Amino acid sequence: MPKAYIVAHIRVHDPETFERFKSMSAPAIKDFGGRVLVRNPNIDHREGAATGTCIIVEFDSLEQARAFYESDAYTAARLVREEAAETDLIIAEGI
């Protein structure tokens, strides 16, 4: 079964609130078997408009990634993140 990835580009404008998001989202990621592969605010941006901190989280399946994103725990964290940052986020299945 192919793995799945959440790829986000996050432009933080309220660092204090964003720290709350991180403390809320980390346990949810772990609960759904996710592994943070990349968390880098200093990306080598070459094309497109997706700037900001790059975060890539790996899950064992597309179903797990979707279940994480739709979970109550992550929904609560996402609402906090939306107060602190603008985000581009996708869920993609690997090959």
- Whole-number Cα distances in Å, 16 to 9, 19, 33, 73, 85: 18, 5, 27, 19, 11
| Residue 29, domain CATH | 3.30.70.100
Task: Encode pLDDT of 21-69 as tens digits.
Answer: 999 999 999 999 999 999 999 999 999 988 999 999 999 999 999 999 9
Position 74 scores a pLDDT of: 98
Query: Please, which pLDDT band fits residue 1 given cuts at 50, 70 and 90?
Result: confident
* Single-letter amino acid code for the residue at 76: A
Distance CA 46, CA 21 (A): 28
- Is-contact 81 55, C-beta < 8 A? no
Domain boundaries, position 85: 4-43+50-93
Domain count of the chain?
Answer: 1
Spatial distance between the Cα atoms of 9 and 49, rounded to a whole number of angstroms: 10
For residue 50, the model assigns a pLDDT of 86
Reported as a pLDDT band with limits 50, 70 and 90, residue 10 is: very high
